[in-house]
Amino acid sequence: MKHYDYKSDGSWSLIIALPILIIIIFTSCYRSCSVGTGELRTVRAIVTDKGIKRIHDHDTYLVYTDTQDGVEVFQITDSILAGRFNSADLYAEIKIGNTYDFGVRGDRNDVLSWYPNIYETVEVTK
């Protein structure tokens, strides 16, 4: 009977790394599909602040708001699945202090720092 030493051939590393890799791929695909092609819903909000979250060379535009449900944070990012590549332009059009009807997709996930993504903006005039 042949005896295998798992410490020397790296099999345990593969056994541990493979499920982690599968979870990362599934999470990425779920995020892309739900934010890029999920159901568009409208949220009326007053913009209280804006900011840019930069991680390495990737920017995420954040919009801080007050809604009827309380304080909410939305993001504006490009989406290949939704065919949108103008996130910087959309971000620049949003003005602090104004009220908007935002067309958003996706949900907030505190653990993974995911925010609903803004796809449409219509300024509400009083």
Q: What is the pLDDT of residues 34-93, one digit of tens each?
A: 555 568 899 999 999 999 998 888 888 999 999 999 999 999 988 777 777 889 999 999
pTM over 0.75: no
- CA angle at 57 for the pair 53 and 60, rounded to the nearest 5°: 30
Considering the four listed CATH numbers 2.60.40.1120, 3.40.720.10, 2.40.50.140, 3.40.605.10, the one that applies to the domain covering 34-123 is: 2.40.50.140
Query: Residue 29: what pLDDT?
Result: 56
Residue, of 97 and 3, whose pLDDT is higher: 97
Q: Are 68 and 80 within 8 A, CB to CB?
A: no
